[in-house]
Amino acid sequence: MVGTILITFGFSAVLALVLGVALGFFREKFKVERDPKIDEVREALPGANCGACGYPGCDGYAEAVATGRAPTTKCSVGGSATAEALAKIMGVEGGAVEDKVAVLLCQGAIDKTVRKGEYNGIQTCRAAKLSTGSIKTCSWSCQGFGDCVNVCKFDALAMGEDGLPHVNYDNCTGCGLCVEECPQKILTLVPRDRVGSIVLCSNRSTVKASVIKTCKVGCIKCELCVKSCPECAITMVNGIPVTDYAKCTSCGICVEKCPTKCYKMLEVDIFGTKKLVPVMEQAQA
């Protein structure tokens, strides 16, 4: 019995040794050399692993860039500086990465909207959307459970006491993870340097009475913005006023005319980079 065990053990050891040697031999014989550019590109990336580039983390994007399968301008976190570094490594002409940030197209705070009732389901926006359509009478309103906040890797989003997510534009990288996560599709990416008017409402109902009942700051489709714009830069698209930024001069007339104050100026009310000059003061100047 003992002899059988020893023979079996010895045979197993010899077999393991032979297989180990064979595997080592074939590994060296058929190994594929790793392109050193992959490591160079990976070192130049910020390491956020957010996936905003469309690849599985920085490793996946680095390999795609190094093998010529991806452009050098897909890293929104690293921005133009990273794009230039990657272009230098790859020996190609550099390109700029458009600096974008997230903007919430809804002002449906707790005190501004009407809830259908008490929601006791899973406390996520997606679950609320799937089970109720919307916990608020406005079907397009923010559900307020912070799914967008939970996926943000840069501490750029936080839920406020008003029940809405608030963006910290100093931290926002424009990765777009929050935009993809939002089941209501009311988060969008906007160039950080964009100026002009924007509607912070996504209610597409064309019935004025319906909008008034569901939200105090919803777009009631009065079209005063469209009619008052001196540049004809605003048109109604699927029940929402849309600004043509090639025409918009940031005069602010649409903001002043909007009865529910859902029209805002990007550079004034969202980014706070400029001060709005009232229309009357503009005329006097």
Cα separation, 125 vs 148, in Å, equals 9
Strands (DSSP E) contained in 168-239 are: 187-191, 197-199, 234-237
Cα separation, 25 vs 18, in Å, equals 11
Looking at residue 283, its pLDDT comes to 47
Residue 234 pairs in a beta bridge with 243
The pLDDT profile of the chain, 285 residues, written as one tens digit per residue, is 666 777 777 777 777 877 777 777 666 665 556 678 889 999 999 998 888 888 888 999 999 999 889 899 999 999 889 999 999 999 888 778 889 999 999 999 999 999 999 999 999 999 999 999 999 999 999 999 999 999 999 999 999 999 999 999 999 999 999 999 999 999 999 999 999 999 999 999 988 888 999 999 999 999 999 999 999 999 999 999 999 999 999 999 999 999 999 999 999 999 988 765 555 455 444
230 secondary structure, DSSP code: T
Looking at residue 33, its pLDDT comes to 63
Other beta carbons within 10 Å of 214: 22
Dump the DSSP string for 41-70.
HHHHS------TTSSSHHHHHHHHHHTTSS
Q: Are 240 and 247 in contact (CB under 8 A)?
A: no
